[in-house]
């Protein structure tokens, strides 16, 4: 067992020299005020190029057509990189990269089942027809509701965008077998693993420099942009800064899920709630997030394969904060056809 060196200074004890209760300056405040703090888009490397991207719609899609000749007419255009899921334009400035992507007019195979607001609402309604999973309960709600006149209501919430001021962006450099990335990330370990897989290198040769984030709210848990930038750096052979256009940031967000809630309550003669039933139709976002971000982990994979349905995170905040003698909260999993993820307070934002 390795022995740790003795601390240079004795451990602090007692109540003297404590920071709590004192007005102390934030270490990051001066750089934010004078503009010297580095966000991902501020990174500049020698010989660096810029990239913009267009991705296919959610679901089973594939790139089928693009106009490379039109892109070549854009001043500053350097290269085009394609995969089955996306196309990137690389140029000597970011504006040229965005113009080149638009000029190419990429076309993708559209999924057979088109998703829109109507299909999402229908999926939520259909979820109530299935057997819900009881996540929390107390008392005997069935007995309390038997023969009673109930007060009932239904509430719905749509998809919610992260819509951070800073879109997804990452700068990547691949040189001498070493892949280095600069990006705002809330999960640098996951971004590192994803970049290594995309570039075909070992995780030990990938180095992440987390930058300040221009807004995140959970969006920077995702790591598609790290994978894309890593692949571009390997393909181009130069440092590359990839920034998603605002439209891509909206279309390929991992949204706060849409949800619907059906509530039933019983009042006694004095108007007090004696029974409360909340049925919530929403995607199993917690499971989806774990599978997408941690699916390579054996423990996570095993836990996701365990029998049972329902996602406690999908009804977070729905358990009544009041002392009610009888209540139950059921989750009705809904497949709404779009990827969902963590957003600010999670399910608390709709429960």
Task: Please give the pLDDT value at position 301.
Answer: 66
The CATH number of the domain covering residues in 117-160+255-349:
3.30.365.10
Half-sphere exposure in the Cβ direction for 2 (13 Å, CA):
2
pLDDT at 132 over 60: yes
Q: Name the residue ranges covered by the structural domains of the chain.
A: 40-110+164-251, 117-160+255-349
State the pLDDT at residue 291.
87
How confident is the model over 59-65, as a mean pLDDT?
90
In this chain, the answer to whether the domains covering 40-110+164-251 and 117-160+255-349 adopt an identical fold is: yes
Over range 253-267, report the average pLDDT: 97
Residue 305, pLDDT above cutoff 70 = no
Per-residue pLDDT, averaged over 71-89, amounts to 97
Report the percentage of the chain scoring pLDDT > 70.
94
Residue 286's nearest CA partner among 336, 216, 224, 343 is 343
Per-residue pLDDT tens for 218-249?
999 999 999 999 999 999 999 999 999 999 99
Rounded to an integer, the average pLDDT of 80-103 is 97
Name the least confident of 56-65, 229-238, 311-320: 56-65
The first and second tokens of residue 87, run together, are 């196309």
Among all chains, which residue has been given the structure tokens 């089973």? 60
Residue 203 has pLDDT above 70, yes or no: yes
The overall average pLDDT reported for the chain is 92
* Residue 252 token pair: 């390929």
* Per-residue pLDDT tens over the stretch 138-174: 999 999 999 999 999 999 999 999 999 999 999 999 9
Q: Look at residue 307 in the predicted model and tell me its pLDDT.
A: 61
Predicted pLDDT at 14:
81
Residue 296 has pLDDT above 80, yes or no: no
Rounded to whole angstroms, the Cα distance separating 336 from 259 reads 10
Whether residue 49 contacts residue 236, with contact meaning beta carbons closer than 8 Å, is answered with yes
Spell out where the chain has E strands.
49-55, 63-65, 77-82, 86-91, 107-108, 133-138, 151-157, 169-175, 178-183, 206-210, 240-243, 259-267, 273-282, 326-333
CA 11 to CA 202: how far, in whole Å? 40
pLDDT tens-digit series, residues 332-347: 999 999 999 999 899 9
Quote the pTM value: 0.88
Query: Is 2 a residue whose pLDDT tops 60?
Result: no
Q: Say what the pLDDT of residue 3 is.
A: 62
Q: Which string of b and e fits 250-278 if b means at least 16 CB within 10 Å?
A: ebbbbbbbbbbbbbbbbeeeeeebbbbbb
Q: With bands split at pLDDT 50, 70 and 90, how would you rate the model's confidence at 112?
A: confident
- According to CATH, the topology of domain 40-110+164-251 is Aldehyde Oxidoreductase; domain 4 (3.30.365)
Instruction: Give residue-wise pLDDT tens across range 20-30.
Output: 888 888 888 99
Mean pLDDT on 116-143: 95
């Amino acid at each position: 067992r390795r022995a740790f060196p003795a601390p240079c200074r004795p451990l602090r004890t007692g109540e003297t020299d404590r920071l709590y209760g004192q007005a102390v300056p934030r270490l990051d405040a001066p750089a934010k005020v004078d503009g010297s703090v580095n966000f991902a888009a501020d990174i500049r490397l020698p010989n660096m190029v810029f990239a913009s991207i267009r991705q296919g719609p959610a679901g089973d899609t594939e790139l089928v057509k693009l106009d490379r000749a039109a892109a070549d007419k854009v001043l500053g255009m350097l290269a085009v990189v394609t995969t089955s899921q996306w196309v990137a334009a690389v140029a000597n400035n970011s504006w040229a990269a965005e113009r080149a992507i638009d000029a190419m007019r990429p076309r993708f195979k559209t999924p057979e089942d088109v998703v829109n607001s109507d299909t999402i609402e229908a999926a939520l309604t259909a979820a109530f027809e299935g057997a819900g999973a009881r996540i929390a309960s107390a008392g005997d709600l069935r007995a309390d509701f038997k023969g009673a006149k109930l007060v009932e209501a239904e509430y719905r919430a749509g998809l919610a965008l992260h819509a951070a001021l800073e879109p997804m962006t990452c700068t990547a450099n691949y040189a001498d077998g070493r892949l280095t990335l600069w990006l705002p990330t809330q999960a640098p370990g996951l971004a590192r693993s994803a970049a290594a897989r995309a570039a075909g290198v070992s995780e030990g040769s990938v180095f992440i420099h987390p930058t300040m984030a221009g807004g995140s709210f959970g969006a920077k848990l995702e790591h598609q942009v790290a994978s894309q930038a890593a692949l571009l750096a390997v393909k181009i052979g130069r440092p590359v800064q990839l920034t998603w256009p605002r439209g891509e940031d909206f279309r390929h967000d991992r949204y706060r899920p849409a949800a619907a809630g059906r509530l039933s309550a019983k009042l006694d003669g004095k108007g007090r709630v004696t029974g409360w039933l909340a049925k919530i139709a929403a995607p199993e976002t917690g499971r989806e997030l774990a599978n997408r971000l941690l699916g390579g982990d054996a423990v996570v994979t095993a836990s996701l394969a365990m029998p049972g349905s329902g996602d406690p995170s999908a009804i977070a905040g729905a358990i009544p904060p009041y002392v009610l003698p009888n209540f139950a909260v059921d989750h009705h999993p809904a497949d709404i056809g779009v990827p969902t993820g963590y957003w600010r307070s999670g399910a608390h934002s709709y429960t």
